[in-house]
Chains A and B, each alone.
Chain A
Amino acid sequence: MQKIGKQTVKFDTPPTILQTASIVGPKEADGPLASYFDQCLEDEFWGEKSWEKAESKIIKETVNMAIAKSGIPSEQIDYCFAGDLLNQCISSSFGLRELNIPFFGIFGACSTFVEALCMASIFLEGGAASYALCAASSHFCSAEKQFRFPLELGNQRPPTSQWTVTGSGAAIVAKNGMGPYITHITPGKIVDMGIKDANNMGAAMAPAALDTLISHFKDTGRSPSYYDAILTGDLGHVGKEILIEMAETKGYNIKSNYNDCGVLIFDKEKQDTHSGRKWLCLLWNCIFWISI
């Protein structure tokens, strides 16, 4: 493991993402990615009394599913890195309390999942662990309740507003394996360009994503065409366009292989979301290259 350039870490024996699992809510199940999820829920409560409890259940079941799929007994998993959007990370803390794995609660908003992967891979590479668990969850209803307005409030969503994904993703990361590998990580800086509109998060986040992408290209000496796919977490349609245009002015053409998970997960034409948000946060302020 060594630091290259300004803010990138390069792994000598890259950790492997061994197995993944995902559970999503009904709206995501209607989206174009439905067939890739392990389980789709019928409603947002999943038999629980509150959305927070439902979110806890979702992350718990996802983690159990990932462990079961990987075939590694949970005693052998050394650390668990998990987080969510709620205060004090309650969904993941309560959801994973029966897991009996040492727990790091992390908060990175949209970048939580990638943050977990970054920390886990540094632990694995440093020899502190041989298996680590990464998980993140979000729930549309609990997030709206915490950050915006009650669902029954009759207000209009402007065209730039985003829709938080209901769901959870989990991954088991191993020290050795056959890939896909995590070879480089580039944590990004906080970039604030003064966008104050809470309904236009894509535009607020795009400059940070751009800054991270460019740092990654500079540090590794690669160009965008080196990659099969460059993915951001949740810039949405507005943020995606802004990122592509701004990258072009800086001399990077990412048009052909760049996409955004928030754009992918919902169907703009069929589903009334004004674009998706969070969950498969493969990259927002972190980039990693997956080679197979």
Chain B
Amino acid sequence: MKPIQTKKDYQNYVEQKSPNSPIIKNCFNAFWVGGLICSIGQIIFNYCKYRGMDIQISNTIVSIILIGLSAFLTGLNLFNRIGKFAGAGSLVPITGFANSVVSPAMEYKSEGYVMGVGGKMFTVAGPVLVFGISASIVVGILYLIFNTQSITLV
């Protein structure tokens, strides 16, 4: 092996030296866990439709129930195990969002209810809301400017 001179050399060396995440296995787990969570959502959605609710309300109920379940599993300290196993499979569905709200709230409970639970609750999920809502405002304004159907024709 050649002696390492520059930072770039060292970074390449570390890259090659560090063990990689088992990506195939991770992707497989993410696929079936993520798919399963979505399917549970679909069953709830179908049930809502079966009870005669409209699509918008049904979607909200699906989110609320999945968030509730995920918060519950987080509280039981089981969600981090699922997350460890499934990676993006449990992170990317709405369950990951609920987990990222509940976990800091539990963690910072020891710092009091106002600044601890209340203040730190959105440390992980905050950026999601900030960027999501900002994007929706931009989309809304753009829609207003190009107030034609052309933008949604794709």
- Which A residues contact B (CB, under 8 angstroms)? 49-52, 145, 149-160, 193-195, 200, 203, 207, 238, 241-242, 245-246, 248-250
Question: Interface readout for B70-111 with A: 1 if CB under 8 Å, 0 if not?
Answer: 000011010111111011001100001001101110111011
Residues of B within 8 A of A152 (CB): 74-75, 77, 79-80, 99, 102-103, 106-107
Interface of B is mostly: helix
Min distance, Cβ B127 to any Cβ of chain A, angstroms: 13
Q: Which of B4, B7, B18, B81 contacts A200 (CB 8 A)?
A: B18
Can you report 9 residue pairs joining A to B where beta carbons are below 8 Å apart? A50-B110, A150-B107, A150-B108, A152-B77, A154-B83, A154-B103, A159-B21, A238-B19, A245-B1
Min distance, Cβ B11 to any Cβ of chain A, angstroms: 6
Q: Which of A145, A156, A242 contacts B83 (CB 8 A)?
A: A156
Is B3 on the interface with A (CB-CB < 8 A)?
yes
Nearest first, the 5 closest Cβ-Cβ pairs linking A and B are: A154-B83, A152-B103, A50-B110, A150-B107, A150-B103
Please state if B11 and A193 are interface contacts (CB–CB under 8 Å).
Answer: yes
Min distance, Cβ A162 to any Cβ of chain B, angstroms: 12
Is B10 on the interface with A (CB-CB < 8 A)?
yes
Inter-chain CA distance A250–B4, complex, in Å, is: 9
Please state if B80 and A238 are interface contacts (CB–CB under 8 Å).
Answer: no
Among A155, A245, A246, chain B packs the most CB atoms within 10 A around the CB of: A155
Inter-chain CA distance A156–B88, complex, in Å, is: 9
Residues of B within 8 A of A49 (CB): 110
Known: A194-B10, A245-B17, A246-B4. 20 other contacts (CB 8 A): A49-B110, A149-B124, A150-B103, A150-B124, A151-B107, A154-B74, A154-B81, A155-B83, A155-B91, A158-B21, A159-B21, A160-B19, A193-B7, A195-B14, A203-B17, A238-B14, A242-B13, A248-B1, A249-B2, A249-B4
Please state if A250 and B14 are interface contacts (CB–CB under 8 Å).
Answer: no
Please state if A153 and B124 are interface contacts (CB–CB under 8 Å).
Answer: yes
Residues of B within 8 A of A159 (CB): 18-21
Is B26 on the interface with A (CB-CB < 8 A)?
yes
Near A by CB (< 8 A), chain B positions 1-59 give 1-4, 7-8, 10-11, 13-14, 17-21, 26
Please state if A156 and B11 are interface contacts (CB–CB under 8 Å).
Answer: no
Give the residue name and chain of the B residue nearest to A249 (CB). Answer: B3
Please state if A150 and B104 are interface contacts (CB–CB under 8 Å).
Answer: yes
Inter-chain CA distance A246–B100, complex, in Å, is: 40
